[in-house]
Amino acid sequence: MIERADRESRLTEADHLSVRVWLRMLACTTLVERRAATRLRQNFATTLPRFDFLSQLERNGNGLRMTEISDRMMVTGGNITRIADQLESEGLIARSPAPGDRRASVVQLTPAGECAFVEMARRHEEWIVEMFAALDEHERRVLYAVLAKLKGHLAETERKR
Amino acid sequence: MIERADRESRLTEADHLSVRVWLRMLACTTLVERRAATRLRQNFATTLPRFDFLSQLERNGNGLRMTEISDRMMVTGGNITRIADQLESEGLIARSPAPGDRRASVVQLTPAGECAFVEMARRHEEWIVEMFAALDEHERRVLYAVLAKLKGHLAETERKR
């Protein structure tokens, strides 16, 4: 396989390391996400996109427009309009006209939604703490700092594109 | 919000750090995945799940069963049967009966599929290298080592569940 050899030889050792780091980070993220999704389903009969949707609203008590929620969501794969319709019919969120723009609406948690979310978030945090228990505090701080640098670079190059 | 205060106070500072690390890792992974997905679409009119599917086959030259591909895929959101049907109709993969089990089939890259994948993988690696360029080699090695520990713990606790 000549192409394969060429492809390998074009990359330096340091380049290979970036790819290996990325694949490992992707594997870790996938494992954590899948386990959190399984537990949300088992304990709360809900999904990660629904949880993510509620968590964006909880962080923004004054409400968010649908486009803002969509931009902030970290989990892919959920149809955000369908999620909003479901959560509204379950009484967990409410829509009201956006101030100064009658065509747009702002989504907020209802008191019932706040209550349901708080319980889910408490358990979700316990699961995350359990999954990251392999790392001591120093390792967690190092990971946090290195990821900050990566995230800053990604945000910076995103703006320049 | 009494519930909120309770929820916060149940967690120690170190626990909070785990949650913050996780949210940052998820944010980085999402940024890298979205940018790779955009570039795959722009440059090769393909998707991340299709790329992931082909890459599993490229790593396993003797072919894989559909269930094995499904277990190994790291990207969620794609319907694996539909992906296989598309890739087969485009001549990038081929199915043959599994040795010793006529009801199952084994999927392999065709020479055209191998060729197409090699070019995609070369570009994909360049994008990853560019995105991780913010980190120097020491930081990449540290990240690689810390993620290894995390991954080991996740795999270990997964087996015990």
The pLDDT value given to residue B93: 97
Q: Which two tokens stand for residue A133?
A: 């228990």
- Taking every pair of C-alpha atoms in chain B, what is the biggest distance, in angstroms? 63
Domains in chain A, please, with CATH? 46-160 (1.10.10.10)
Cβ atoms B150, A136 nearer than 8 A: no
Distance (Å) from the C-alpha of residue B34 to the closest C-alpha of chain A? Answer: 10
Which pLDDT value is given to residue A98? 85
- Statement: residue A25 has pLDDT above 50: yes
pLDDT at A3: 39
pLDDT tens digits in sequence order for chain B, 161 residues long? 333 433 344 456 666 899 999 999 999 999 999 999 999 999 999 999 999 999 999 988 889 999 899 888 877 666 889 999 999 999 999 999 888 887 888 999 999 999 999 999 999 999 999 999 999 999 999 999 999 999 999 989 887 76
ipTM of this complex: 0.83
Residues of chain A contacting residue B112, judged by C-beta atoms under 8 Å apart: none
Taking contacts as CB-CB distances below 8 angstroms, the residues of chain B near A56 are none
Residue A118, chain B, CB below 8 Å: the answer is: yes
Give the pLDDT of residue B104. 84
pLDDT at A14: 60
pLDDT tens column, A30-40? 999 999 999 99
DSSP E strands, chain A: 64-65, 93-98, 101-109
Confidence of residue A2 (pLDDT cuts 50, 70, 90): very low
Kindly state the average pLDDT of the residues A104-119.
94
Provide the pLDDT confidence category of residue A12 given band limits of 50, 70 and 90: low
Q: Which of B137, B154, B157, B161 best probes binding to A when mutated, by most A CB atoms within 10 angstroms?
A: B154
B22 vs A26, A156, B114, CA distance in Å? 12, 21, 36
Give the Cα separation of B140 and B134 in Å (integer): 10
Q: Is pLDDT above 50 for A6?
A: no
Share of chain A above pLDDT 70, in %: 88
pLDDT for the residue numbered B101: 82
CA distance A78 to A84: 10
Which residue(s) pair with A94 in the sheet? A108
